[in-house]
Amino acid sequence: MLPFRSEIRNSPTQPTIKVFLTDESLDARIKKHLEHFKEIETIEIRETHGQNRAGENITIFLKDHVDINKMKASIDSSLWWYFEEDMVDE
């Protein structure tokens, strides 16, 4: 099982990136890990509503004029790096 998955959500008010962790106990640690990106406006841990979803997600709001596709790729890369040690142990 993958440690996380991320999705771009195109909202009319502000596009966001949502990160769903397999282990929700890591939400606060991952939120802190992602705060180093200067392109991120704010990060929130939110309750997820919907079928077949994790109970919580990390919602990432980007600053204006940031390329959301490039930012998702950067976040995914950073998270793979973060989880790499855990993946090797499995």
Give 37-78 pLDDT, tens digit per residue.
999 999 999 998 776 667 899 999 999 999 999 999 999 999
Task: Report whether CATH 3.30.1360 matches the domain 4-89.
Answer: yes
Q: Are 61 and 43 in contact (CB under 8 A)?
A: yes
Please state the pTM of the whole predicted model. 0.86
The ranges assigned to domains in the chain are: 4-89
Give 7-44 pLDDT, tens digit per residue.
999 877 888 999 999 999 999 999 999 999 999 999 99
The C-alpha angle with vertex 52 and arms to 33 and 44, in degrees rounded to 5, equals 30
Q: What is the mean pLDDT of the chain?
A: 89
Q: Are 18 and 34 in contact (CB under 8 A)?
A: no
